Structure 1
Amino acid sequence: MDRLGKRVLLIIYAAIIIIPMLTVFFSTFKTTSQMYENPIGLPESFNFSNYVQIFNETAMATYFKNSVIVTLVSVTFTLFFASLIAYAITRMNKWMGGLLFGLFTLGMMVPAQVNMIPLYSLIYRLDLTNTLSGLMIVNISVTLPVAVFILTGFMKTIPKELFEACTIDGANNWQVYRRIALPLSLPSLSATAIFLFVMHWNDLLYPLLFITKDEYKTLPLALLEFQGQYMTNFPMLFTGVMIASAPMIIAYVFLQRYFIAGMTAGSVKG
């Protein structure tokens, strides 16, 4: 009976997720009038005109490219810095490592909205508004505490004897980090990369705060163009949502085993 109840709950949960996704997907093949006449029904035909139109009438290719650049660079540098910091924390004595870890943990407790005014003031003074580099710097600094928190928890489970044995063999800290810490942390790094990818790809707050020129807009910010004061072009908006969601869906499909492995890694000590 318990198993049946769990299956029913899982089916209901799946339906709650799948039905809105299918509604959005089918709406991309409708016109605005068809959307309002039958918002949750099947389209009259699978016409890809909305997809063609969104690339022909907007700078969707540029927005997509900007999102790819900002996301990939932000994720790469965040993982690099976070893995170095996590490794340093595990190699320090307990007092110093705990203090450094606590400082980064405090960074997770400050809401993003609290930092908006000082961040904008800093980026403006550095003349980095309306630049992808300024957006990348903000993304890295904001998500670094989260990445440090995740990676430190895993690296603490790596036996210190491995580090000590490598040091005795003559390896320096960089070699120990590169040959021992990084290879053993790949599951956790993969899970953190997916987590950061979703955060940076979907981020709207900071592009909205720092970007005003069209040539530097990212996909989430560009989707606001389809929302008017009196009327919203839902078919085009949903088409943009599907284009923006495609990379995340593809990435999760191919990397889900690494994500699951990274989430469970370090949960049980040997």
Structure 2
Amino acid sequence: MSGNKLARWSNYVLLSLITFIILYPMLYMVLNALRSTKEIMLYPTRLWPADGFQWSNYAEAFRVGKVSIYLLNSITVTGITLLCQLIVVTLAAYALGKWKPPGHKVLFVLFLATLMITSEMTTIPVFLMLREFELLNTHQGLILAYVGGGIGMAIYLIKNFVDTLPKEVDEAARMDGAGLLRVFWYIDLPLIVPVLAVVTIMSFVGVWSEFFWALITITDDRLKTLPLGLLNFQSQYNTNYGVLLAGLTIVTIPSMLVYLLFSRYFIEGMTAGSIKG
């Protein structure tokens, strides 16, 4: 076997091992969510259910654990947050990268400066602001906190991507009579889809699994998101491991699906700078 083939097969084995190590805990969680608590206690290392799939664990999680309410709240909060955040950061980054209004360099530096401000530094001011506007214990207040928290990094990524777009196409479109917004919507927006996918995945994972802000702003059980509701769910089902793992699986699966849906664009967005630069 030649040196190149040996190196290639070594890489395959190493990557397969790393993939298995990463995916095994998730596989263990998903399969054990379909086992009874008795079977989990007797055979903790076994993966495949010996007594058949216990789909009742999921039914129990939705029926008694109020997972359906928490899931709907998480979908609502995450969906609105992503929509608002993508609109704001896309328009802001595109304006800074393409239109370059007066003072655009200063604005970009200010956005970058927000990356050096930790969440601990903004917790009390944002909390007091939400309380002043009577937005505590509401989804609106939680969404505002989420939208403002991820703007800096998103603008940085999109603006750098916009800087690599060819200017000749825009100039040709303007010569044909297209306005600025028309050029943005029909020409440049489809080109920045890969980096928007990167921002979408990062924001979705951050918002979907966020716990701290939900904990300090939401007290009404009917308004709790899934990670926060799962805290009560865990204390309620701390001995029923099958139902508890079913609840954890419900939290995890959406993040996996979003990554799988946007994985192609995610890879393109992460490598676009090295290819186009």
Same topology, TM > 0.5: yes
Structure 2 segments unaligned to the other structure (5+ residues): 1-5
Output the amino acid matched with 2:19. Answer: A
Q: How far 1:95 sits from its partner (Å)?
A: 8.0
Q: How far, CA to CA, are the matches of 1:229 and 1:28 in structure 2?
A: 16
Output the amino acid matched with 2:94. Answer: Y
Which one of the candidate residues 188, 194, 206 is aligned to 2:201? 194
Q: How far 1:250 sits from its partner (Å)?
A: 2.3
Q: How far 1:81 sits from its partner (Å)?
A: 0.7
Q: How far, CA to CA, are the matches of 1:204 and 1:124 in structure 2?
A: 19
**1:250 counterpart residue number:** 257
**1:10 counterpart residue number:** 15
**1:203 counterpart residue number:** 210
**1:80 counterpart residue number:** 87
**1:144 counterpart residue number:** 151
Q: How far, CA to CA, are the matches of 1:230 and 1:172 in structure 2?
A: 59
Q: How far, CA to CA, are the matches of 1:230 and 1:216 in structure 2?
A: 20
Aligned length: 270
Q: How far, CA to CA, are the matches of 2:234 and 2:142 in structure 1?
A: 24
Q: How far, CA to CA, are the matches of 1:51 and 1:29 in structure 2?
A: 8
Which one of the candidate residues 30, 36, 41 is aligned to 2:35? 30
Output the amino acid matched with 2:20. Answer: A
CA contact (8 A) 2:61 2:243 kept: yes
SS at match of 2:128: helix
CA contact (8 A) 2:33 2:243 kept: yes
Output the amino acid matched with 1:27. Answer: N
The 1:162/1:261 distance shift into structure 2, 3 A limit, reads same
The 1:50/1:121 distance shift into structure 2, 3 A limit, reads same
SS at match of 1:239: helix
Q: How far, CA to CA, are the matches of 1:231 and 1:187 in structure 2?
A: 42
Check if 1:261 corresponds to 2:268: yes
Q: How far, CA to CA, are the matches of 1:227 and 1:250 in structure 2?
A: 24
Q: Deviations over 1:112-149 (max 9, x none)?
A: 22222222111111111111111111111101112111
More moved, 166-175 vs 25-34:
166-175
Which one of the candidate residues 108, 119, 126 is aligned to 1:112? 119
The 1:86/1:232 distance shift into structure 2, 3 A limit, reads farther
- Give every structure 1 segment of 4 or more consecutive aligned residues whose post-TM-superposition deviation is greater than 6 Å: none
Check if 1:44 corresponds to 2:69: no
Q: How far 1:110 sits from its partner (Å)?
A: 1.7
Q: How far 1:255 sits from its partner (Å)?
A: 2.5
TM-score normalised according to structure 2 size: 0.88
Which one of the candidate residues 116, 119, 130 is aligned to 1:123? 130
Q: Deviations over 1:194-252 (max 9, x none)?
A: 22111111111211121111111111111111333995543222111111222222222
Q: How far 1:69 sits from its partner (Å)?
A: 0.9
SS at match of 1:267: helix
Q: How far, CA to CA, are the matches of 2:234 and 2:250 in structure 1?
A: 17
Output the amino acid matched with 2:137. Answer: N
Q: How far, CA to CA, are the matches of 1:17 and 1:178 in structure 2?
A: 39
Q: How far 1:169 sits from its partner (Å)?
A: 4.2
TM-score normalised according to structure 1 size: 0.90
Output the amino acid matched with 1:259. Answer: F
Check if 1:154 corresponds to 2:161: yes
CA contact (8 A) 1:226 1:233 kept: no
More moved, 47-56 vs 103-112:
103-112
CA contact (8 A) 2:89 2:155 kept: yes
